[in-house]
Amino acid sequence: EVQLVESGGGLVQPGGSLRLFCAASGFTFSSYEMSWVRQAPGKGLEWVSHIRTGANAIFYADSVKGRFTISRDNAKNSLYLQMNSLRAEDTAVYYCARENIVAAGNDFDNWGQGTLVTVSS
């Protein structure tokens, strides 16, 4: 069974940092591209960042570029999101999502349960 389990969320002050983790199991992690997607309270879905299988290509939303860093450790079946210079508008549930490789598009067939990040003083 495919499982994605996020952790690392919490309360942080504006300007602070946080590192999110996504532990993957039940599939060959190194063969799948991965993304982080977030959802502010009561709002819609916002894609944040994407990483290819070998981390040879990485993409960011403009809203987080220069502040967030996505990475992965295929040996540990883990995905990460380092978040620096956090702002109130970064408050959201952060999901890690596995790319659907059945089709060649960038959509997501498995999602974690999410971890809540709250940026507030």
- Residues of this chain that bind other proteins (CB under 8 A): 35, 37, 44-47, 50, 59-62, 95, 100, 102-103, 105-109, 111-114
Give the separation between CA 32 and CA 26, rounded to whole angstroms. Answer: 12
| Structure tokens belonging to residue 4 | 């994605």
Closest approach of Cβ 51 to other proteins, in Å?
A: 11
Compare residues 43 and 75 and give the one whose CB is closer to other proteins.
43
| Structure tokens belonging to residue 99 | 């790319």
Using the structure block, give the residue that is written with the tokens 């059945």.
102
Q: Backbone phi, then psi, for 62, in 5-degree steps?
A: -60, -30
Compare residues 80 and 94 and give the one whose CB is closer to other proteins.
94
Compare residues 23 and 46 and give the one whose CB is closer to other proteins.
46
Closest approach of Cβ 18 to other proteins, in Å?
A: 20
Closest approach of Cβ 121 to other proteins, in Å?
A: 27
Compare residues 31 and 113 and give the one whose CB is closer to other proteins.
113
Closest CA to 6 of 64, 55, 48: 48
36, 99 Cβ separation under 8 angstroms: no
